[in-house]
């Protein structure tokens, strides 16, 4: 009987020690990364690292330096480092010496762009899109479900005449604009999402999608039209897809803070062009905050309403009503939502108007950004938001204006693990450690119990077990 008690006692002690060890592992993982890995549905579950933006800038610099005849695009590799496609060994050496990876390819960017120009000159087919796939060194032509067999056959004939640098692919769904982003803005018969706040130095504007409405479109913060936001004063669509909504209600927020829902914000401190493979966030008034990566640049989409070129192609999902919403990485503005195919249940392809091109054409820049809390990189992990807040505050701006690189300070979103500047942030941060701490506590209590309850001794009522 004593044997059994001692064996049970040893097992209990081992279990307690195991609980403490497992709890410690859980706590250390929570401290190292408060976000799970990316999900296929586009949930914002991976925090963007400052290195993503640094390597994107390195890749852009190398491509600009070497030129379109010696390079064929760039991307962020699986190891997080910049990769530059080059056409000769000398260019490869320069890329490697600069700290990026070089991949020698057959076709230069000049040849790939020539292929896209040939496609543009062919008879327009609504429901098709194409972009340079830098990783495969090809121009990929997509055809949605609305493209007939005869139309697709004619497109194949054009591609065949170009050569081996063109690849044809069919896709499900239809390429549509997403009119129905961070904040909802309403007009008669439609809804879009506010993108980024911008300024011409005298007045404040919302930068959003051009297909949301022509010049003179009135926008409101509610479906009843009780709270005026502003009026569209410049719209460019098709061709490009951007517009300016001038604020008429000065009480609305025109700061450089991007509202991504549920009381959470990100400070925008600059604007830049993305690089293929870069991890990005998108926010919209229908599907909330989502994440994914850039898959191609300078994409052309043949919407039913017309052709739009120079777009950013991504695998981030979007839905009707997300049009005009912001695309960003770290604190850097990248684009506004144009359109695509699919949804946030099955996934899809979404295209964005680059903000640098839009701001240059419009003569506006991002407003001055406030200093970031803590001046250190934070973790941007948050649950998706359904965008029910009716306040049309617009989105964020930043220092520098069009094409500015901006600060590399990571976004700190109130109420999430990067933020300890508020009670909500402290609670959220503590909750991420909860399961591990609970397991450690249970293990310590169990271990303490094994020390106090010693097997093999008989206790007598009214006397200490240490007395003889």
CA separation for the pair 158, 398 (Å, rounded): 44
Distance CA 3, CA 54 (A): 64
3-state class (DSSP) for residue 347 = strand
Reply yes or no on whether 323 is catalytic.
yes
CB atoms within 10 A of CB 189: 8
**Catalytic residue status for 241:** yes
Query: What distance lies between CA 160 and its chain's CA centroid?
Result: 35
Token reading at 396: 């964020």
In 3-state terms, what secondary structure has residue 424?
A: helix
Token couple for 459: 């206790």
* Distance in angstroms (rounded) separating the CA atoms of residues 230 and 217: 9
Q: Which residue in the list 52, 133, 236, 241 is annotated as catalytic?
A: 241
- Cβ atoms 306, 175 nearer than 8 A: no
Strands (E), 171-262: 176-177, 184-187, 190-193, 196-199, 204-208, 218-220, 228-236, 242-247, 257-261
Catalytic residue among 323, 381, 407, 432: 323
Strand-pair partners of 291: 281
Of residues 445, 458, 367, the one with CA closest to residue 404: 367
Burial class of residue 215 in the structure, from the number of CB atoms within 10 Å of its CB (0-12 exposed, 13-18 middle, 19+ buried): exposed
**Displacement of CA 348 from its chain's centroid (Å):** 14
The one catalytic residue in 133, 144, 211, 372 is 211
Is residue 146 annotated as a catalytic residue, yes or no?
no
> Whole-angstrom Cα distance, residue 238 to residue 209?
10
The answer to whether 211 and 339 have CB atoms below 8 angstroms apart is yes
Q: Which of 105, 108, 98 is nearest to 55 (CA)?
A: 98
> Please, are residues 86 and 102 in contact by the beta-carbon 8 Å criterion?
yes
Return the C-alpha torsion angle 174, 178, 181, 187, nearest 10: -160
The beta strand positions in 24-70, using DSSP E, are none
* Beta-bridge partner residues of 326: 336
DSSP 8-state code for residue 364: -
H or E segment to which residue 113 belongs: helix 109-121
Question: What residues act catalytically?
Answer: 211, 241, 323
């Amino acid at each position: 009987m004593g044997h059994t008690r001692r064996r049970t006692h040893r097992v209990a002690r081992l279990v307690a020690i195991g609980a403490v060890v497992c709890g410690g592992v859980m706590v250390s993982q929570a401290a190292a990364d408060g976000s799970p890995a990316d999900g296929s549905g586009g949930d914002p579950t991976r925090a963007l690292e400052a290195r993503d933006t640094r390597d994107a800038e390195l890749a852009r610099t190398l491509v600009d330096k070497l030129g379109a005849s010696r390079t064929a695009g760039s991307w962020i590799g699986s190891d997080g480092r910049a990769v530059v496609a080059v056409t000769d060994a000398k260019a490869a050496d320069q890329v490697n010496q600069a700290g990026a990876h070089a991949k020698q390819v057959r076709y230069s960017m000049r040849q790939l762009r020539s292929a896209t120009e040939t496609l543009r000159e062919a008879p327009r087919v609504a429901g098709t899109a194409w972009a340079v796939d830098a990783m495969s060194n090809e121009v990929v032509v997509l055809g949605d479900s609305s493209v007939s067999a005869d139309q697709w056959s004619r497109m194949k004939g054009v591609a065949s005449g170009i050569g081996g640098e063109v690849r044809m692919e069919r896709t499900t769904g239809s390429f549509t604009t997403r009119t129905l982003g961070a904040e909802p803005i309403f007009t008669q018969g439609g809804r879009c999402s506010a993108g980024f706040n911008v300024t011409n130095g005298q007045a404040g504007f919302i930068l959003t999608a051009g297909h949301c409405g022509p010049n003179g479109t009135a926008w409101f913060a509610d479906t009843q039209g009780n709270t005026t936001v502003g009026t569209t004063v410049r719209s460019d669509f098709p061709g490009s897809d951007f517009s300016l909504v001038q604020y008429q209600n000065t009480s609305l927020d025109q700061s450089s803070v991007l509202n991504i829902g549920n009381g959470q914000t990100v400070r925008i401190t600059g604007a830049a062009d993305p690089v293929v493979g870069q991890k990005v966030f998108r926010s919209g008034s229908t599907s909330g905050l989502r994440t994914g990566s850039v898959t191609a640049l300078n994409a052309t989409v043949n919407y039913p309403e017309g052709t739009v070129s120079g777009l950013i192609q991504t695998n981030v999902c979007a839905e009707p009503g997300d049009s005009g919403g912001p695309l960003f990485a770290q604190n850097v503005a990248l684009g506004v939502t144009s359109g695509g195919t699919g949804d946030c249940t099955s996934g899809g392809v979404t295209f964005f108007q680059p903000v640098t091109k839009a701001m240059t054409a419009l003569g506006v820049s991002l407003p001055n950004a406030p200093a970031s809390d803590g001046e250190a990189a934070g973790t941007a992990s948050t649950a998706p938001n359904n965008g029910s807040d009716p306040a049309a505050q617009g989105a964020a701006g930043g220092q520098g204006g069009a094409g500015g690189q901006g600060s590399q300070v990571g976004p700190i979103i109130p109420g999430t693990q990067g933020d300890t500047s508020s009670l909500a942030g402290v609670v959220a941060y503590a909750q991420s450690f909860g399961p591990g701490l609970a397991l450690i506590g249970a293990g310590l209590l169990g271990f303490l119990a094994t020390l106090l309850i010693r097997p093999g001794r008989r206790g007598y009522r009214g006397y200490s077990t240490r007395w003889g």
